[in-house]
Structure 1
Amino acid sequence: MEVINFVLAASPIIVVLVGILAFKKPAMKVAPLALVWTIVLAFTWFNVQSMSFTQNVATVDALLWKGIKEGLKIVAMVFAAFVILNTLKATGAIEDVKNTVAKISTDRRVQLVIVGMMVPIFLEGAAGAGAPAAIAAPFLVALGFEPVTAIAVALLGDATPCSWGGAGLTTISGGAALVNAGISTAAENSAMVGRIHMFGVLIIPFLIVALTFGRKGFRGIIPYLLYAGVTTGGTMFFLSNFIGPEVTSMGTGFISILFSVLYVKVVPIRTPEEYRYEFPQGVKQKYSSVQALSPYLYMLVLLPVIRYTVPLKILTTFGYIVWVDCVIFLCAVLGAVTLRVSRTEFKEVCRLTGRNMVPVLVTMGSLLVVSYIMQSAATGMMALIAQNIAAFAKVLYPAAAVLIGSMGSFITGTGLGSNIMFAELHVSAAQSLGMNPVTVFAAQNAGASLGNLICPNNTVAACATVGEVGKEAKVMKKTLPAFGVLIAVYMVLSMIYTLVVFVV
């Protein structure tokens, strides 16, 4: 019976994965089917509170409307990010964007690491809420990278800083259960997860190049990739352990970009011709570098300024993501003004972009409602899955905590949601097993960050920002191997930290 309960509780996840990966169906078709199946389970097998049919209808109805509302908030951000990309295309500024970034380095692999990993780390600290992939993926497309690859790289680049999120919120709020119990502090939680993620960012530059160019892509670039991984990982370790969670992501992203720019200006990279960006001959640049990059420059300034100057209570009045939506759209407007786009042209860009948003809303709304139903105490589905994994793991529990964390963000779409959901479970399990709850929660926190890499919500949103709705299977096939490598490394690190280095 326990096995049946576990399989049925996990079946909505299985439906989504099998539908997208095995049957290669677009998420817009798979998500509503998964939703219908989840509702059936909620009314029948997982009606754990023995509610009447009318009570079940009322519960599910509330979650449906919540899914639509929250889905609209995500779609608003996707819309704003896509408007920026379409404006750059419509004006021709997209070519000037390529030329501007190429002035930093003509090696496309260096461009890929800076824009695909370091910029998302910065943006995660500045805003979070899905903004890094939604901004970095269109930027990479603007640089000439293939859209599906650009999406996968942007998601991979954002796989580590999600443990801190905007201004450290994921660790500070997500680890509140440990702080309130007097087990640790926010600083200790930040330090421990930083000791895991520093190894993640060490290998991610290599994963990004392998994902994009294959093994041949490493020719002549290994010293830079090693340098990028060590400097980024070292910066993340230092900030998370000695400064605090509030600045870890944004500081790591900004400082690592400076380190990379310094490297490429001092150390020559022997770039094979196939990876060299060629400046167009005889073509005059239409816009200055500042004008061409203006929508992104506005974001790099406004997102952190607003996040760190406006009280969080005000920013979260209508939900955390809403202020991010507003800022990105404001940057789209300011960018259009800077690029001298007429009001009529901008309206047309918005109109054409908006036509692509309905499928995104259907998909996002369905997936969100699935996650709300699974998290609900009325069904207990997510709790059942986590408890079964924990009971089975025993001495391997630290590794299981990584898996539970990633599963939580796979469903909820956020590391914060996963941490809040499972923090108390991990504290209880660690204490009963005689393990260090701080390292176990760090394993959960790190795994929750990785789960964003393969989360259907994030994949759908990133696909929509570059007009690739329906290509979710292709993206997930690219991100899953990288996820597998990272989660294996994190499981081993969590076991070493818990059972060897930080034994209670």
Structure 2
Amino acid sequence: MMDFVMAISPLVLILVGIIVLKMPAMKVAPLGLLYIIILALTYFSPADVTFQDTVSMIDGLLWKGIKEGAKIVMLVFSSFLLLNLMQRSGAMKQVQNTLADVTDDRRAQLIIVGLMVPIFLEGAAGAGSPAAIAAPFLVGLGFDPIVAIVIALLGDATPCSWGGAGLTTITGGAYLVDQGISSAALNSAMVGRIHMFGVFIIPFLIVMIAFGKKGFQGIIPYLFFSGLSTGLIMFVLSNFVGPEITSLGTGLLSIVYSVVYLKFVKIKTPEAYRYKGGSISAEKEGQTRRYSSFHALSPYLVLLIALPVVRYTVPFTTLITFGYIVWVDVVVFLCACIGCVILGVSMEGFFDTMKQTAVRVLPVLVTMGSLLTVSYVMQHSQTGMIQMIASTIADAAGQFYPAAAVAIGSAGSFITGTGLGSNIMFAPMHLNATSMLGLNPITVFAGQNAGASLGNLICPNNVVAACATVGVIGREGEVLKRTFAAFAVILSVYMLLSMVYTHMLFPNFGL
């Protein structure tokens, strides 16, 4: 038990610092890094490993953390730059009016942009792009920055099980396939049967988080429609088409269905939740420009087209040459440059916006580098900390192991910041456990996969990155408090579903 306590202590330190003590992540993360270095040099240093070897290991992981952190910061920078250009030119004002033409209900706008667009973006690119793009977009539409971050993270809580072109399920479940236990299609089908309930309840959580109980007035029929249609689309695509287009197709079709619904079924919107317009100044451009709806939206339309086109046309081996997220960084930055031309922002204005954006974003590299290094040290075989956490939970679970697998998957992505990493890390352990307990490994891995996707909602790395994209660095604690509440609700549902599926409904699925 002491090993478990010590293994989980770095996470407790970071969470207590951010949530309880309300310290900025930029201060807590370096403290967490220093603490885990001490643990790696002392408590988690194997007897057969020299001090010099441990220092060498930490040094390598530190540089890896800085390098990978820089890649994430680049995505944050590019996404934030695009938002600032939209605001500087005044195009974001017209985007608001365009959305109001679809529906003037702010709650419905939030569902479309905060849930359905992130699902599409996850399928188009993944790599943190949904929150990095959707959160600043929501801020540009006039939503509170903290609410925008929470909603964008929540919108991305389910599609991460497939990710870009089904990568998370295909590669993350490859161990089961290699062992002849399952297939990518079976893994996709079962996790889809879990997530369809998640996307059904998320619209209700979004309204509750953003507007409170009073926010449900007059919009419950639309929430049922959006949750039910999105869940059914996800179920059909994941079970009968395949993992490659589940996220992309779900996001795109759910947007189309919602727009059609809102055109034919009018929501009785209270005045408090009605979009009333307003003004957005074109800073340093002298005046607010006038754009057509298509012209104003075109920078984001270019982005939404470019991401899936590049992902599905460029060979995967080329995309991962410098790390998967790098191609997303490049595409988003190029789209920001194209947006500058489309919106008619002067070169002077473009470089001034770049400078302002960089000043606000670059300090995040310290936080990201520290948090990533903490996760790398915990994952490293020499410390075995993440394996210690997972195996302790598994040992105590018994016949409740299917529920434990969901929690383990969430813990894995909470630490690593990626559902794919969590799946790869724990798939062998789940297969061994199900063999000993006589459980279905496919349904148990589905719980792992669903939990891994959900864990992205509360991952400190993701929260810090999202805060940076909307310029609220230092308020990570406020975000985590809200995301933890939503996380707890969905986690409970997923744990129950995993138990029911494994023990009652699908005990022989795929076998």
Q: TM exceeds 0.5?
A: yes
The answer for the alignment partner of 2:304 in structure 1 is: 300
Which one of 410, 415, 422 corresponds to residue 411 of structure 1? 415
2:168 counterpart letter in structure 1: T
Does structure 2 retain, via aligned residues, the 8 Å contact 1:32–1:366?
yes
Partner of residue 314, structure 2: 310
The residue type paired with residue 257 of structure 2 is: F
* Preserved CA contact (<8 Å) 1:48 1:380: no
The correspondence for 2:368, drawn from 361, 364, 369, is 364
8 Å CA contact 1:117–1:205 kept in 2: the answer is yes
Task: Identify the residue that residue 294 of structure 2 maps to in structure 1.
Answer: 290
Letter in 2 for 1:144: G
Give the CA deviation at 1:295: 2.0
In the alignment, is residue 425 of structure 1 matched against residue 424 of structure 2?
A: no
Q: CA deviation at 1:293?
A: 1.6
Structure 2 counterpart of 1:76, one-letter code:
M
Equivalent of 2:385, from 378, 381, 386? 381
Query: Which amino acid in the other structure matches residue 132 of structure 2?
Result: A
> Where do residues 84-163 of structure 1 align in structure 2 (5 Å cutoff)?
84-163=82-161
Measured in 1, the distance between the counterparts of 2:303 and 2:47 equals 47
Q: 1:384-424, CA deviations, whole angstroms, 9 ceiling, x for partnerless residues?
A: 11000000011110000000000000010000010011010
DSSP 3-state at the match of 1:103: helix
- The structure 2 residue matched to 1:206, chosen from 199, 204, 207, is 204
Q: Distance in 2 between matches of 1:268 and 1:83?
A: 35
Moved over 6 A (4+): none
SS of 1:356's equivalent in the other structure is: helix
The partner residue of 2:217 within 216, 219, 236 is 219
Structure 2 stretches lacking a partner, 5+ long = 282-287
Q: C-alpha distance in 1, partners of 2:202/2:463?
A: 18
Superposed CA offset, 1:62-97 (max 9, x none): 000000000000000000000011111211222112
* Structure 1 residue 294, shift from structure 2 partner: 2.0
* 1:332 matched residue in structure 2: 336
How big is each residue's C-alpha offset from its partner over 1:265-320, in whole Å with a ceiling of 9 and x where there is no partner? 01111000010111359x99711112222221111100000000001000000000
Rate the CA distance shift 1:392–1:106 in 2: closer, same or farther, 3 A: same
SS in structure 2 of the partner of residue 454 of structure 1: coil
Q: Is the 8 A contact 1:435 1:498 kept in 2?
A: yes
Task: Give the length in aligned residue pairs.
Answer: 501
Distance in 2, Cα, partners of 1:86 & 1:285? 15
1:168 and 1:248 in contact (8 A); partners too: yes
Amino acid at match of 2:5: V
Equivalent-residue separation in structure 2 for 1:50 and 1:222 (angstroms): 62
Deviation per CA, 1:422-442: give whole Å up to 9, x if none: 010011101110000000000
1:503/1:86 CA distance change after superposition, 3 Å: same
Q: Distance in 2 between matches of 1:465 and 1:400?
A: 34
Equivalent pair of 1:49/1:378 in contact (CA under 8 Å): no
1:463 aligns with 2:467: yes
**Following TM superposition, by how much is the alpha carbon of 1:503 offset from its aligned partner in structure 2, in angstroms?**
1.5
CA distance in 2, matches of 1:13, 1:440: 25
The whole-number CA distance in structure 2 between the counterparts of 1:43 and 1:280 is: 57
- In structure 1, which of residues 339, 342, 345 is the aligned counterpart of residue 349 of structure 2? 345
CA distance in structure 1 between the partners assigned to 2:172 and 2:76 by the alignment = 25
Instruction: State the partner residue of 1:29.
Output: 27
Cα shift readout 1:170-227 (whole Å, capped 9, x = no counterpart): 0000000100000000000000000000000000000000000000000000000000
What does residue range 174-253 of structure 1 map to in structure 2 within 5 Å? Answer: 174-253=172-251
TM-score, normalised on structure 2? Answer: 0.97
| Letter paired with 2:31 | L
Q: 2:58 corresponds to which letter in structure 1?
A: V
Report what 2:284 is aligned to.
none
* In 1: Cα distance, 2:56 partner to 2:466 partner: 32
Closer, same or farther in 2 for the Cα pair 1:432/1:264, shift >3 Å? same
1:205, 1:228 within 8 Å by CA — same for their partners in 2? yes
Given residue 23 of structure 1, which amino acid in structure 2 is its aligned partner? L
Q: Secondary structure at the match of 2:8?
A: helix
TM-score by length of 1: 0.98
State the shift of 1:359 in Å: 2.3
The answer on whether the counterparts of 1:155 and 1:452 sit within 8 Å (CA) in structure 2 is: yes
CA contact (8 A) 2:89 2:289 kept: no
Q: Give the direction of change, closer, same or farther, for the CA distance of 1:348–1:390 in structure 2 (3 Å limit).
A: same
Distance 2:363 2:453 in 1: 26
- 2:479 — aligned with what? 475
**What letter matches 2:401 in structure 1?**
Y
Task: Summarize deviations over 1:431-472 as a string: whole Å, max 9, x none.
Answer: 110000000000000000000000000000011011011110
- In the alignment, residue 363 of structure 2 is paired with which amino acid? P
Provide the rounded CA distance (Å) in 1 between the counterparts of 2:228 and 2:289.
36
2:90 and 2:289 in contact (8 A); partners too: no
Q: Does 2:15 align with 1:11?
A: no
Q: 2 CA distance for matches of 1:334 and 1:49?
A: 56
User: Percent of aligned positions with the same letter in both sequences?
Assistant: 63
Deviation at 1:50, TM superposition (A): 2.9
Alpha-carbon RMSD across the aligned residues, in angstroms, is: 1.1
Return the alpha-carbon distance in structure 2 between the equivalents of residues 304 and 260 of structure 1: 21
Residue 285 of structure 2 corresponds to none
Cross-structure match for 1:401 = 405
Cα deviation, 1:19-57, whole Å, max 9, x if unaligned, reads 111100111111111111111111111113631111111
What is the distance in 1 between the residues matched to 2:506 and 2:95? 47
Map of 1:78 onto structure 2? 76
1:442 & 1:155 partners in 2: Cα distance? 21
In the alignment, residue 248 of structure 1 is paired with which amino acid? T
CA distance in 1, matches of 2:218, 2:405: 38
Provide the secondary structure at the position in 1 that maps to 2:456. helix
| Paired position in structure 2 for 1:263 | 261
Letter in 2 for 1:141: V
Q: Are residues 59 and 198 of structure 1, via their aligned partners in 2, closer, same or farther at CA, if it must alter by over 3 Å? A: same
* Residue 277 in structure 1 maps to residue 275 in structure 2: yes
Please tell me whether the aligned partners of residues 361 and 469 of structure 2 are also in contact (alpha carbons under 8 angstroms).
no
Indicate the larger mover: 169-178 or 271-280.
271-280
